[in-house]
């Protein structure tokens, strides 16, 4: 498995809750694409075929289809692509048309992620999104007509002012659309965002934990009932004869390598993690001078790798028992006693033989369980 | 001998003892003004300077040319400034013939000053009253009252008082002259067999124990074969000298003088404060009166924060006892805290000092349990047990009688606080024995109080309810029977031994309620509900519960989040190490001291 993440750091308008690196100076896009092509040329070679490419942002759908094609061509010149290579692009329903979607599909993108977030007007306005509920539905229909047969829909919950009723409205809309994948995130008040500043001022309040938990339970239950299988804290794939789980994200969670390009993008390659400058200017300067865009790197110790693998697999489709034995010589079932016994009897964890997997109740308490796991390993 | 003067200074914290001592040293040329600026010479331990108290004794010899033209050798013997160390105070006073009573012109006489003063008067010391800080503007309105207080207290005349300001250098010469004129020179017979008092000893890693002594009779010389009267240990003296700013070898120390000696002594336990030093071959007829074995009064469990550090902690305690012989410790096991030590201290301040020294000087991260006293338990079979760990109190059905130590407390405060103080003391099962007025607006109250009630937050409570104006001193009294019961704390049905306490039956309900409430605040929510119960035997007297955590998960973890999330988890994992596991419940270390911060 080898992934490739490209960060497209532009938005028409930044959302108040978002802490990904992004700027509103869309006039810089053309120059950015040139720099990105240069960066791809500078990246280390790898003989393994790419199994996934992911255009994240920002708003990658602000790039012209031709620009996406150019980038993919450059990648293809340097790396082999696996025959089933998953190529995902994030999009904002307010920025796509039937024509542009056809263009992205023709350029090679085969999975589209649509940032819907909610189907309730007040909630979209709270999130400072530029699209409407109808825009979202239209975008998804256009994507289908454009030939996308692997579409993800992003939702958010635990928004201030949201109720179980309004969340049900959004869930019903999402289920009606029967997209291939749904990501449903509980709102995070990320430090440094305008939303966090509002929180500090007391202008907004987070949902009470109890209600947040009820919403999360509702999401998990409705999506399961609607034919989606949860395989991570916030991710659900439609049950189908095809595997509709996101290959790229599983690459992260299963501890496999991923290359990266674009400001603020993180890579993990041959035991070293690197992350690019979180500034278009700084990143551009480095690349133009013929260097990689790294702000910093770290070489992971075996213990750090073990820690990362434990918490990323645990929050996804389960702690792989045999892999821990083989790679780290740890019998997790033994190491986790007496906690594992309690968790199983409390219905937080299931022992599925090959993996120890969180139940729906377990996903609710993923972080404290993770901490105890790390403390025990 | 007629040119020696041995004296100490009696003063309340902050009344200017250290500044005055510094000033005397400066005036007699022992230190220069430059050295003086940032140091209070006698309090040379950082902990002492921070807290403004003297923990270890110090002594220093000064040469003073008096107005009569003669040069006198003045030995200033410092006294520790806290009630925990009153025995040491009595021993250093008995090495002197006189004492300066230093009273702050704006504050007046305090409890601790009075008890030390009475100790000095009992031992026949000449008292020189000094009213200090007279240069402060506030002193103009208070100095007359304070003067009258001192006159009433000592039964002296107004002309006996010296008005001074150590800070401004006022009255320093008068004080030095008064020491020469009023303090009698030491008496004693240099031709008699050696008879010297140990008033302090310190451990030096290179030379062994350095013993500080006052020689009463005879002469102490290098190569003498000496014997300690009470410990009955014999040694050959290596080095003898006097205490200037540093130790200065003189080879001999004659009757009347104060100094030190070394004799390759490896343990402080051989050189007990108050013991008599004499010659092995030609001993004196009788020891110096007043020797006492110092016994720990307050006990607490000290555990390593991480159980792997048990051996390190043992080593640190071992090193600490080399220069603080008053600490006792023995290994114990707690089901909640693992392997640790039950330590005994002279008092609460002593306990705090030991804990701080372990953390600062020996780099130990420790968990301490709530302090308690030592109980005397008479079983139905008539056996006597001493219990210094509440969890070891036998089953009530086997107990015929439990006795607890009492103290006699003296509290001095402005009269407006009498009501508050009485209320506090009565709540703590105190009994008032008397009250007397030091002046129209200051009262001296005497109470009998169970020490067990004082080791909790009594002193802090006294200070906070009297806005810091009350001062406390106490002496130990007898053991008295009490209706005492052991209260256990259970978390999800499992008893937590380190949280057990011994309380009075009538206060048990209230106590249990408060403790459960406090623990509910201190124990974080877990993935399951936690029941906190207080129980006497099998009877539950109070309960609280901590509801289960419902949702705790960060929604996103993608390629760019992993490194940050790992670092956060690593940090949280470190924090988790400081939690103690009681059954399934994780208990933060602060919880083990919860009792100390119960609100009324």
Q: Are residues A116 and A238 in the same domain?
A: yes
Does the bond joining B112 to the residue before it have cis omega, within 30 degrees of 0?
no
Least confident of A256-270, B9-23, B227-241: B9-23
pLDDT for residue A258 is more than 50:
yes
Query: Tokens 């780099």 identify what position?
Result: B363
SS3 B600: coil
Identify the pLDDT of residue B44.
52
Give the residue-averaged pLDDT of B257-266: 93
Rounded Cα distance, A300 and B563, in Å? 10
Say which residues have a Cβ less than 8 Å from residue B110's Cβ, sequence separation at least 6.
B12, B15, B412, B471
For residue B88, what is the DSSP state?
H
Strand residues in chain A grouped as ranges (E): 2-8, 50-57, 81-91, 111-117, 151-157, 181-186, 228-232, 235-238, 257-261, 266-269, 272-276, 294-299, 319-320, 349-351, 355-358
Mutate to test the interface with B, among A230, A231, A371 (most CBs of B within 10 A): A371
Rounded Cα distance, A172 and A157, in Å? 14
Identify the pLDDT of residue B351.
87
Least confident of A147-156, A294-303, B527-536, B579-588: B579-588
Rounded Cα distance, A79 and A261, in Å? 14
Q: What is the pLDDT of residues B482-537, one digit of tens each?
A: 999 999 999 999 999 999 999 999 989 998 999 999 999 999 999 999 999 999 98
Q: CA of A105 to nearest chain B CA: how many angstroms apart?
A: 25
Tell me the helix, strand and coil percentages in chain B, rounded to 5: 30, 35, 35
User: Could you say which of A192, A222, A251 is where a domain stops?
Assistant: A251
- Is position A76 within any domain? yes
Q: Do A364 and B565 touch (CB under 8 A)?
A: no
SS3 A192: coil
Q: Are residues A195 and A107 in the same domain?
A: yes
First-to-last CA distance in chain A?
A: 26
Q: Which residue has the higher pLDDT, B34 or A117?
A: A117
Which run of H or E residues covers position B581?
Answer: strand B579-582
Q: What is the pLDDT of residues B536-589, one digit of tens each?
A: 988 999 999 999 999 999 999 999 999 999 999 999 988 887 788 888 899 988
pLDDT for residue B595 is more than 80:
no
pLDDT for residue B292 is more than 50:
yes
What is the CATH classification number for the domain harbouring A341?
A: 1.10.10.920
Cross-chain CB nearest to A249 (options B558, B570, B577): B558
Q: Are B63 and B38 in contact (CB under 8 A)?
A: no
**Cα torsion for A76, A80, A84, A87, to the nearest 10°?**
-40
For residue A161, what is the DSSP state?
T
pLDDT for residue B56 is more than 60:
no
Q: Are residues A350 and A205 in the same domain?
A: no
DSSP-assigned letters across all residues of A319-355: EEHHHHHHHH---HHHHTTTHHHHHHHTTSEEE-SSE
- Is position A100 within any domain? yes
Give Dmax over CA atoms of chain A in angstroms: 59
Cross-chain CB nearest to A371 (options B551, B556, B576): B576
CB atoms within 10 A of CB B116: 25
Q: How many Cα neighbours within 13 Å face the side chain of B408?
A: 9
SS3 A269: strand
User: Contacts of residue A216 in chain B, CB cutoff 8 Å?
Assistant: 551
Look up residue A20 and give its two tokens. 């990904």
Q: Are B483 and B506 in contact (CB under 8 A)?
A: yes
User: Could you list the residue range(s) of the whole structural domain that residue A65 is in?
Assistant: 2-251
* CB crowding B2-17: b at 16 or more within 10 Å, else e: eebbbbbbbbbbebbb
Surface of B (555-594) touching A: CB under 8 A? 555-560, 562-563, 565-566, 569-570, 572-573, 576-577, 584
Rounded Cα distance, B553 and B565, in Å? 12
pLDDT for residue B36 is more than 50:
no
Q: Do B527 and A265 touch (CB under 8 A)?
A: no
Please, which pLDDT band fits residue A68 given cuts at 50, 70 and 90? very high
Identify the pLDDT of residue B598.
65
Q: Are A85 and A52 in contact (CB under 8 A)?
A: yes
Please, which pLDDT band fits residue B38 given cuts at 50, 70 and 90? very low
Give Dmax over CA atoms of chain B in angstroms: 90
Q: Are residues A244 and A314 in the same domain?
A: no
Please, which pLDDT band fits residue B49 given cuts at 50, 70 and 90? low
Q: Closest Cα to residue B120, out of B143, B92, B146?
A: B92
- Is position A49 within any domain? yes
Mean pLDDT of chain A: 96
Identify the pLDDT of residue B578.
75
Q: Are residues A312 and A231 in the same domain?
A: no
Q: Which residue has the higher pLDDT, B59 or B151?
A: B151
Say which residues have a Cβ less than 8 Å from residue A225's Cβ, sequence separation at least 6.
none
Identify the pLDDT of residue B324.
79
Share above pLDDT 70 across residues of chain A, in percent, rounded to a whole number: 100
Give the residue-averaged pLDDT of B9-29: 83
pLDDT for residue B238 is more than 50:
yes
- Is position A112 within any domain? yes
- Is position A24 within any domain? yes
Query: Tokens 């800080």 identify what position?
Result: B133
Strands A181-186 and A151-157, by their bridges, are parallel
What is the CATH classification number for the domain harbouring A210?
A: 3.20.20.70
Q: Does B552 touch chain A (CB under 8 A)?
A: yes
Identify the pLDDT of residue B331.
93
**Number of domains forming the structure of chain A:** 2
Q: Are residues A159 and A67 in the same domain?
A: yes
First-to-last CA distance in chain B?
A: 58
Closest A-chain CA to B561: A266
* Burial class of B571 by CB neighbour count within 10 A (0 to 12, 13 to 18, 19+): exposed
Q: Are residues A8 and A120 in the same domain?
A: yes
Q: Do A375 and B556 touch (CB under 8 A)?
A: no
User: Could you say which of A233, A251, A269 is where a domain stops?
Assistant: A251
pLDDT for residue B43 is more than 60:
no
- From residue A202, alpha-carbon distances to A129, A162, A197, B43 in Å are 22, 17, 9, 50
Please, which pLDDT band fits residue B53 given cuts at 50, 70 and 90? low
Residue ranges of the alpha helices (H) in B160-309? Answer: 172-182
Q: Closest Cα to residue A317, out of A360, A263, A357, A260?
A: A357
CA–chain centroid gap for A109, Å, is: 17
Identify the pLDDT of residue B51.
55
Identify the pLDDT of residue A91.
95
Q: Which residue has the higher pLDDT, A212 or B471?
A: A212
Q: Do A367 and B560 touch (CB under 8 A)?
A: no
Say which residues have a Cβ less than 8 Å from residue B118's Cβ, sequence separation at least 6.
none
- Is position A291 within any domain? no
SS3 B407: strand
Rounded Cα distance, B462 and B469, in Å? 9
The three-point CA angle A81-A86-A90 to 5° equals 125
Rounded Cα distance, B84 and B353, in Å? 11
- Is position A286 within any domain? no
Q: Do B551 and A266 touch (CB under 8 A)?
A: no
User: Contacts of residue B570 in chain A, CB cutoff 8 Å?
Assistant: 307, 374
Least confident of A341-350, B27-36, B302-311, B382-391: B27-36
User: Could you say which of A251, A266, A291 is where a domain stops?
Assistant: A251
Q: Does B440 touch chain A (CB under 8 A)?
A: no
Tell me the helix, strand and coil percentages in chain A, rounded to 5: 45, 25, 30
Give the residue-averaged pLDDT of A232-248: 97
pLDDT for residue B35 is more than 70:
no
pLDDT for residue B380 is more than 50:
yes
Cross-chain CB nearest to A375 (options B553, B556, B573): B573
Please, which pLDDT band fits residue B78 given cuts at 50, 70 and 90? confident
Q: Are residues A144 and A237 in the same domain?
A: yes
Surface of B (64-103) touching A: CB under 8 A? none
Question: Is the pTM value of this prediction over 0.90?
Answer: no
* Burial class of B454 by CB neighbour count within 10 A (0 to 12, 13 to 18, 19+): buried
pLDDT for residue B213 is more than 50:
yes
Q: What is the pLDDT of residues B401-451, one digit of tens each?
A: 999 999 999 898 889 999 999 999 999 999 999 999 887 888 999 999 999
Q: Which residue has the higher pLDDT, B507 or A357?
A: A357
Q: What is the pLDDT of residues B320-355, one digit of tens each?
A: 887 777 888 999 998 888 899 999 998 888 888 888
Q: CA of B348 to nearest chain A CA: how many angstroms apart?
A: 36
- Is position A30 within any domain? yes
Which run of H or E residues covers position B384?
Answer: strand B384-387
Identify the pLDDT of residue B58.
67
Q: Which backbone phi and psi does A328 adopt, to 5 degrees?
A: -120, 0
Q: Are residues A36 and A161 in the same domain?
A: yes
Identify the pLDDT of residue A308.
96
Please, which pLDDT band fits residue B357 given cuts at 50, 70 and 90? confident
Strands B71-77 and B4-11, by their bridges, are parallel
Rg (CA), chain A: 21
Q: Are residues A233 and A357 in the same domain?
A: no
SS3 B120: helix
Look up residue A52 and give its two tokens. 């996934």
Q: Does B553 touch chain A (CB under 8 A)?
A: yes
Identify the pLDDT of residue B268.
83
Identify the pLDDT of residue A204.
94
SS3 B37: coil
Q: Are residues A162 and A306 in the same domain?
A: no
pLDDT for residue B252 is more than 80:
yes
- From residue A269, alpha-carbon distances to A251, A273, A299 in Å are 12, 6, 10
Does the bond joining A338 to the residue before it have cis omega, within 30 degrees of 0?
yes
Please, which pLDDT band fits residue A281 given cuts at 50, 70 and 90? very high
Q: Are residues A241 and A363 in the same domain?
A: no
């Amino acid at each position: 498995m080898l992934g490739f993440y490209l960060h497209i750091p532009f938005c028409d308008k930044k959302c108040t809750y978002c802490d990904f690196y992004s700027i509103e100076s869309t006039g810089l896009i053309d120059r950015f694409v040139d720099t990105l092509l240069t960066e791809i040329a500078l990246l280390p070679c790898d003989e393994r075929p790419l199994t996934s490419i992911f255009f994240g942002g920002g708003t990658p759908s602000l790039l012209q289809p031709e620009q996406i094609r150019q980038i993919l061509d450059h990648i293809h010149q340097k790396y082999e692509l696996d025959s089933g290579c998953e190529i995902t692009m994030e999009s904002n329903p307010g920025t796509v048309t039937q024509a542009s979607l056809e263009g992205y599909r023709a350029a090679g993108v085969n999975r589209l992620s649509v940032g819907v977030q909610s189907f309730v007007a007040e909630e979209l306005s709270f999130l400072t999104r530029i699209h409407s509920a109808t825009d979202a539905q239209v975008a998804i229909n256009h994507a289908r007509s454009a030939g996308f047969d692997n579409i993800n829909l992003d939702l958010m919950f635990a928004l201030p002012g949201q109720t179980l009723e309004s969340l049900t409205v959004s869930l019903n809309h999402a289920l009606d659309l029967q997209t291939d994948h749904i990501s449903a995130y509980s709102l995070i008040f990320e430090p440094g965002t305008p939303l966090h500043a509002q929180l500090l001022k007391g202008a907004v309040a987070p949902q009470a934990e109890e209600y947040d938990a009820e919403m999360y339970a509702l999401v998990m239950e409705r999506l399961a009932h609607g034919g989606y299988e949860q395989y991570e804290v916030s991710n659900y794939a439609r049950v189908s004869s095809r595997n509709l789980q996101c290959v790229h994200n599983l690459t992260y969670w299963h501890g496999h390598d991923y290359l990266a390009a674009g400001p603020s993008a993180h890579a993990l390659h041959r035991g070293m993690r690197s992350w690019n400058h979180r500034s278009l200017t700084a990143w551009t300067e480095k690349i133009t001078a013929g260097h990689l865009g790294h702000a910093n790197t770290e070489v992971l110790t075996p213990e750090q790798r073990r820690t990362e693998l434990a918490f990323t697999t645990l929050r996804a489709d389960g702690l792989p028992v045999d892999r821990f034995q083989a790679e780290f010589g740890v019998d997790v079932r033994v190491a986790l006693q007496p906690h594992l016994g309690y968790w199983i009897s409390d219905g937080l964890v299931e022992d599925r033989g090959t993996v120890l997997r969180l139940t729906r109740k377990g996903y609710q308490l993923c972080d404290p369980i993770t901490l105890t796991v790390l403390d025990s390993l | 001998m007629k040119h020696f003067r041995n004296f100490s200074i009696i003063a309340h914290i902050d009344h200017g003892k250290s500044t005055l001592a510094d000033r005397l040293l400066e005036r007699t040329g022992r230190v220069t003004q430059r050295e003086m600026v940032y140091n209070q010479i006698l309090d040379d331990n950082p902990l002492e300077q921070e807290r403004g108290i003297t923990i270890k004794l110090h002594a220093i010899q000064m040469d003073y040319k008096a107005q009569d033209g003669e040069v006198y050798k003045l030995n200033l013997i410092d006294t520790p400034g806290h009630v925990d160390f009153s025995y040491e105070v009595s021993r250093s006073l008995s090495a002197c013939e006189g004492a300066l009573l230093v009273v702050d012109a704006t504050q007046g006489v305090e409890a601790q000053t009075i008890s030390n003063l009475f100790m000095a008067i009992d031992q026949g010391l000449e008292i020189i009253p000094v009213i200090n800080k007279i240069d402060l503007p506030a002193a103009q309105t208070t100095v007359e009252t304070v003067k009258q207080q001192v006159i009433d207290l000592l039964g002296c005349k107004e002309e006996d008082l010296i008005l001074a300001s150590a800070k401004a250098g006022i009255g320093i010469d008068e004080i030095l002259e008064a020491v020469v004129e009023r303090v009698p020179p030491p008496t004693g017979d240099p031709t008699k067999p050696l008879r010297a008092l140990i008033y302090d000893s310190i451990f030096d890693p290179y030379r062994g124990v350095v013993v500080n002594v006052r020689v009463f009779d005879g002469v102490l010389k290098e190569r003498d074969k000496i014997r300690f009267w009470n410990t009955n240990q014999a040694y050959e003296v290596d080095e003898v000298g006097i205490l200037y700013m540093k130790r200065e070898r003189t080879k001999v120390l004659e009757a009347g003088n104060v100094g030190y000696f070394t004799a390759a002594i490896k343990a402080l336990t051989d050189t007990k404060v108050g013991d008599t030093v004499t010659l092995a071959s030609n001993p004196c007829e009788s020891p110096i009166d007043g020797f006492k074995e110092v016994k720990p009064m307050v006990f607490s469990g000290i555990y390593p924060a991480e159980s792997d550090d048990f051996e390190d902690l043992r080593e640190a305690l071992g090193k600490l006892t080399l220069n603080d012989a008053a600490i006792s410790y023995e290994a114990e096991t707690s089901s909640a805290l693992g392997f640790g030590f039950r330590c005994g201290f002279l008092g609460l301040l002593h306990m705090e000092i030991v804990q701080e020294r372990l953390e600062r000087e020996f780099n130990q991260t420790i968990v301490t349990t709530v302090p308690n006293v030592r109980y005397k338990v008479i079983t139905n079979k008539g056996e006597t047990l001493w219990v210094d760990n509440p969890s070891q109190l036998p089953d009530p059905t086997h107990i015929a009688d439990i006795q607890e130590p009492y103290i006699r407390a003296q509290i001095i405060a402005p009269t407006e606080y009498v009501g508050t103080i009485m209320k506090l003391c009565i709540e703590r099962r105190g009994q008032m024995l008397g009250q007397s007025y030091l002046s129209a607006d200051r009262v001296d109250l005497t109470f009998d109080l169970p020490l067990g009630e004082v080791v909790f937050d009594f002193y802090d409570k006294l200070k906070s309810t009297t806005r810091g104006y009350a001062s406390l001193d106490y002496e130990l009294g007898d053991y008295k029977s009490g209706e005492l019961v052991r209260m256990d704390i259970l978390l999800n049905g499992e008893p937590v031994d380190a949280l057990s306490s011994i309380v009075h039956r009538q206060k048990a309900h209230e106590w249990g309620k408060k403790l459960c409430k406090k623990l509910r605040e201190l124990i974080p929510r877990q993935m399951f509900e936690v029941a906190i119960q207080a129980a006497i035997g099998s009877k539950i007297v109070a309960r609280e519960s901590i509801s289960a955590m419902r949702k705790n998960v960060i929604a996103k973890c993608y390629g760019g989040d992993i490194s940050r999330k790992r670092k956060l988890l690593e940090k949280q994992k470190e924090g988790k190490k400081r939690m103690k596991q009681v059954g399934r419940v994780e208990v933060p270390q602060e919880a083990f001291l919860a009792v100390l911060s119960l609100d009324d």
